[in-house]
Each structure stands twice: as structure tokens, then as C-alpha cells.
Copies of this chain bind each other. A is one copy, B any other.
Amino acid sequence: MSTPAPPSPHVGSRPGGRSARVRAAVQRATQELLADETNEPLTIPVVAARAGVHATTVYRRWGSIGELLTDVASSRFSGAIVVPDTGSLRGDLERYASDLAKDLGDPDSLPLVRATIGAGGEQGASACTRERQQQLEAILEREQARGNQTPTVQHVIDAVLAPLYYRAIFTDKALTPDWTRTLVSHVLPD
């Protein structure tokens, strides 16, 4: 449980001070509530109460629960995975798929993806995967810089990224290491 920061005449004037703390508290409250797996959809008043701030503060800053979730997803799904550099395209893609599978298995990950798709529409959904697509581009560009041919980014998105998200979101099947390697073998046959 967070409590609001004590009011201070100095803090409001410092950029990134109280404002950054409010943002952090609201983001944390959102993730905690999602992890609780209640049966009801998240609303701004519920998030505000958990964060210890006024609902009007949250409405003024984010506008809607969809925009708040999109912001939380942007933060959560940026930088969480490092682009691997194993020396080979197959190694990079296998490591990448395995890291993403692990990340989607984190308890704070899938509930956030689901809620953001539900309330944030296309913009929210795209905030969950934009950086993932950029990372795949980086992996392919490095292989091209080594002087090697690669599949297209679109092919790798369709063959590796899409099934990872599909299986996580729509099924109760585990994202196993054997299966993630199989996905890579579809785009890089032996």
C-alpha cells in the first residue's frame, strides 16, 4: 500500500519531483491491482485510491484508464529485454524468443498486456509490442552487417513474435524452450 507524499512547498516547483512521484505511485498501483486478478475491470477511481492520490489528478494526467494502461505498458515493456548478441542469427533469435517467453510468463506481464489490449485499443496494444518489433529489426540488421542474408522482419514477426503472443494470450499452453526453438527453425530451416 502506498501513501501520498506529504505536501511540501518546495517539491511542486522542482521538475520531476512530486509529479514523477505521482506517476510512479499510480503506475505501481495499476500493476499491483492487475496482479490481484480481481474479477472487475480496472477503473481510475480504484487506481487512484490504491495510489493514495485524488482521482481528478489521474483523470487530468491520463484522461482515461486506457491511456493510463498504455502509459504503464510503455514503461513496463521498454528495456525489459536486451537485444542478445550471441554471434549468430539463429543464436540471437533463439535467445530472444526464450527471453520474451520468460518475460510473458512474469506475473506482472500478461495481465498488463491483456488489460491494455482491452482498454487501450490499438494504441495500447501497440505499446506492448512496439519495442519488441524494433529489437527484431536490430537483430536482423546486425546479421546483415555481418554480410549475411536474412529473412524479412515481417517474416520473423509472423513466425516468431506472433505465436509467442498468441499462445500467451489465447491459450493455457506453456511457452516451453523446445517450442520457442521450433518457432525459430520455421524461419531458419537447417
Contacts and interface: CB of A to CB of B under 8 A. Distances in A.
Given A64-B39, A158-B163, A166-B162, A118 B125 contact: no
How many identical chains are in the complex? 2
A63 to B, nearest CB: 8
Contacts of A107: none
Contacts of A122: 171-172
A64 to B, nearest CB: 4
B186 A41 contact: no
Specify which of A43, A167, A170 lies most central, judged by the most chain B CB atoms within 10 Å of its CB.
A170
A42 B65 CA distance: 12
Contacts of A169: 117, 125
Q: Which residue, A42, A119, A169, has most C-beta atoms of chain B within 10 A?
A: A169
Given A170-B125, A170-B126, A157 B163 contact: yes
Contacts of A170: 125-126, 128-129, 165
Interface string A105-145: 00000000011111101100110110000000000000000
Interface string A150-178: 00000101110111011101111000000
Name which of A42, A114, A116, A126 has the most chain B CB atoms within 10 A of its CB: A114
A162 B183 CA distance: 12
Given A115-B118, A165-B166, A126 B39 contact: no
Per CB-CB distance, the 5 closest pairs between chain A and chain B, nearest first, are A118-B118, A162-B166, A158-B163, A162-B163, A41-B41
Given A158-B186, A161-B166, 7 more contacts: A40-B64, A114-B125, A118-B118, A126-B170, A129-B170, A157-B166, A165-B166
